[in-house]
Amino acid sequence: MQPIINDNLPRNYQKCWLPSSTDIPWLIRYLDNVYLPEGEDIIKSTLINEITALNHNIKNSKSLQEASLSFVLDENNMVSEQYSIDYQNDTIRIVSGGWQGFLYAWFDLLRKASSVLNSPWQSTQKPAFPVRMINHWDNLDGTVERGYAGNSLFFHNNQIHYDEIRLHHYARLLASVGINAIAINNVNVHHHETALIDDSLLPSVAQIAAIFRQYAIRLFLSVNFAAPIETGELSVADPLDPQVIDWWQTRAEKIYQQIADFGGYIVKADSEHRPGPFTYQRTHADGANMLARTLAPYDGLLYWRCFVYNCQQQWYDRTTDRAKAAWDNFAPLDGQFLDNVILQIKNGPMDFQVREPVSPLLGSMPNTNKVMELQITQEYTGQQIDLCWLVPQWKTILNFDTRPGERDATILDILAGHSQHHMQHSGITAVVNTGDSVFWTGHPLAQANLYGYGRLLWDPLIDEKSLAEEWCKLSLSTAPKAVETISQMLLSSWLTYENYTSPLGVGWMVQPHHHYGPSIDGYEYDSWGTYHYADRYGLGVDRTSDSGTGYVKQYHPLNCQMYNNPGRCPQELLLFFHHLQYRHVLPSGKTLIQHIYDSHFSGVNQVELYIQQWKTLEGDITEDIYSEVLQRLVKQLANAQAWRDQINTYFYRKSGIKDSRNRNIYP
């Protein structure tokens, strides 16, 4: 195993939130006499490596009583990822049901022992969600789809190519926040990526899997449903065709010969021109179950994405509603999927917008395994140019009550396995925001999204402000002014971004294809089903049960009634569910058009304040990070101003209604 030395990180990338030995002097003295259980385990080797990196004089104690730091297995009372940390009589004792728990406890110990946190030591913890996954959208040519942090960590020039030391550091970063699964390639599997499950590339994939295995992270691959055709070996990909089934069985055998603990597949099928079972008049259950059967003998899992909709919609057809598609495609199939199939459902019914309702599919299908898919990388929320901390958004989603008045009905309850839903596998996955950037995430403050994602999956009840401060202290500065300033910037940034972009849940007013910056009508007359329907009277999409598309009926009756009534619908989602006149009066007392004007001016003002606040931190933040963040804030201001001016002018021209405060809106 390659040693990981905390203090000797290569100079071309940052340590992020992981402490070095100088941050944890209190802990160091406990690392000279360590007790570890007997037996061999890959994670045991990792722990020895971790401890040795901090204290080269480690003594492997044979006596539990004599050890200053002890790891104790308790498989009878604890599950493998659960652990407790206790500090008594000047000794640290870690108890867990398995080596994974020891690993997570170690990183928790580093976090708590850090001189910058001074957190209480004693605790008993286990993760809230069984599945804690990240999805890379990396292509074999080295590019990253919707990636804003440089090129791939795994691939280059249509070859598997990586820096082994950096990949160890990356696995360590992920493990430190509790990630236990990773898919390393894009769900849009092109020709070259199809070969990742071929004999030519599998040995190199196995080497990557071996690195992540050391940190209790199971490796997955996205696969092309039409791989038998793409490779030229078959002329069909029909999931019920015996030769297709045999092809996938043979492929699974070869994979598991190379990677015994291979996690399984991620599949995007019958969506956005990707092949799938519909070609052969088969169902999603037919397609998913065929692949799942080939993985089942090896305890492999099949993640089947529910991002399926008609992307050839006629813009003038108001009866077809993209928001309804996931539920319509999958809800009737509840109970038809095998036990090792997991449906991967986006958090909203559309596509990672800055604000949209929670997908009704997450509260449906009680007899089917489900994970929720989030997007850490900021495709529609600033692309790691604009600051947008997404933890408040994610907590809002987790707290959504799918069956108001009923027990254990929030999204958190469902995905954590506490609800009436009968699932063997559940949790959360997310499109990750890392690349070969010096800062891992491009924007240094975007590291807070990755850190926050992992910590939230472990403890979804964690306070947002505490989490922001924790990340800041570990990553940037312990100076009180810096901690307070940066935390407030993070905590307000989602609302700020929402204010200067799309009003009241309408979404999609972005530049087509790359999705950064405003283009109000960019998607208005296209085939993607992403409309705002603005006219001279008002704007918004009517999704009500009486006059609209009927999308509201996919929710529990009480939620349906709430969303169906513009007087009860949450203001931030009003235009997602209703087409309203510009003079419609909101609960705030403002008219709809005045809210649009005010929010867009407010958003720009907030970004201007961010720049002022950040400039006060010069000297408290390392120069490279200070300079990089300042440059991005300046770009964010230009973007916010473009949004404000274009949105306000557009709706002034549509409505003919002036701003009541007579601010500058271009005629």
Tell me which residues are annotated as active site: 272, 351, 379
Tell me which residue of 116, 120, 68, 115 sits closest to 94, measured CA to CA: 68
Dihedral (CA of 572, 147, 452, 440) sign: negative
The two tokens of residue 43 are 């994670």
Q: Please, what sign has the CA dihedral across residues 626, 632, 634, 640? A: negative
Residues in the chain: 667
State the maximum Cα–Cα separation within the chain, in Å, rounded to a whole number.
82
Structure tokens at 65: 């009583």
Tell me how far apart the alpha carbons of residues 15 and 282 are, in angstroms, rounded to a whole number: 48
CA distance linking residue 410 with residue 405, whole number of Å: 10
Dihedral angle sign, alpha carbons of residues 235, 236, 242, 247: positive
Count of C-beta atoms within a 10 Å radius of residue 480: 9
Between 480-500 and 391-398, two packed helices, what is the crossing angle to 10 degrees?
Answer: 70
Are residues 306 and 330 in contact, defined by beta-carbon separation less than 8 angstroms? Answer: yes
- Which residue's structure tokens are 């077809």? 320
Q: Which two tokens mark 553?
A: 């009926």
Q: Which amino acid is at 191?
A: H
Residue located via tokens 């045999």: 246
Which segments of 515-616 does DSSP mark as H helices, in order? 557-564, 574-577, 592-615
C-beta of residue 410 within 8 angstroms of C-beta of residue 399: yes
Structure token pair of residue 375: 């997007």
The arrangement of strands across the sheet holding 91-96 comes to 60-61, 34-35, 69-73, 91-96, 83-88, 123-125
Residue with tokens 């999308």: 551
Distance CA 419, CA 411 (A): 9
Instruction: Identify whether the C-beta of residue 256 lies closer than 8 Å to the C-beta of residue 206.
Output: no
